[in-house]
Amino acid sequence: MSFSNRYGPWAIVAGASDGVGAAFARALAARGLNVVLCARRKALLDQVAAGIRADAKVETRTLRVDLAQPDAMSRVADASAGLEVGLLVYCAGADPNYQPFLANPVETGLAMVQRNCMAPMQMCHHFAGPMVARGRGGIVLFGSAAGFAGAPNLVAYGATKAFDMVFAEALWAELHEKGVDVLGLILGETDTPALRRLREQLGHRDDPDAPLRGAASAGDVVSEALAELANGPICLVGDQARGAAKFIGGMSRSDAVRFMIQASAAAMGSGAPRKEA
């Protein structure tokens, strides 16, 4: 079965305005899938959609939606009504702050839970049922090495990414024998506009024309994801994520936390802006 027959005719990409989400949408269009692009920034979505239509003979739709809002699922459902969605890619959910848990109102953490846990669960439930009925389809959920163990400045984010990892594994266990592929992507540092903006806030002066040292590229993430989509349940993307998983695997949970503290400080630096709790 061809890629477009197995996962088409429509794909939904949540978080498609730039970075890995935009790269994923372009790669799916190049393989013949029509794409619904969802994110908060409508102007960027329209640019990605225009580029896709110029490069591939597919249809696109764009939806401006804040996935941290409780009505996100209903808005996605309305935007995709009547479409046969064969692939769901949920890659929204980066942490733009890298701050202590008590530095922000609790609503900041709750919004992270809504965007990284509630919304993907709702979307998987909504779209997976028809996929199972057809006996084909796929779901890609983005996780992070931050979910391996707890670390400072990543309290809510790391916890939600641990949820995403286990959720993807369990969903694969239920759906893969019914013809629906589920893949949880576990990313380390990935060279995206969001990471570069955060690093700039933290005082890093990265060369805008050079790749971030040690970080995977968006293209690498998409390539590995598409190569492993039919395998599941988990794909560790990049040397950083694979190395961290291997290193942590033989540790106690307490030692794993200590390792994550050191790894987080090494990656982001100790000069993160901190608000008073």
What's the pLDDT score for residue 269?
65
Query: Cα separation of 144 and 250, whole Å?
Result: 19
Helices marked H in the chain: 3-7, 19-30, 42-55, 72-79, 106-113, 119-134, 155-175, 193-201, 218-228, 238-249, 253-268
What's the pLDDT score for residue 189?
83
What's the pLDDT score for residue 191?
75
| 164-185 pLDDT tens trace | 999 999 999 999 999 999 999 9
CB-count burial class (<10 Å; 0-12, 13-18, 19+) for 127? buried
| 50-109 pLDDT tens trace | 999 999 999 999 999 999 999 999 999 999 999 999 999 999 877 878 899 999 999 999
Residues of the chain with pLDDT under 70: 269-277
The answer to whether the beta carbons of residues 32 and 8 sit under 8 Å apart is yes
Residues designated catalytic: 157
Query: Cα separation of 206 and 227, whole Å?
Result: 31
Query: Cα separation of 135 and 10, whole Å?
Result: 15
What's the pLDDT score for residue 97?
81
Report, in this order, helix, strand and coil percent for the chain, each rounded to 5: 55, 15, 30
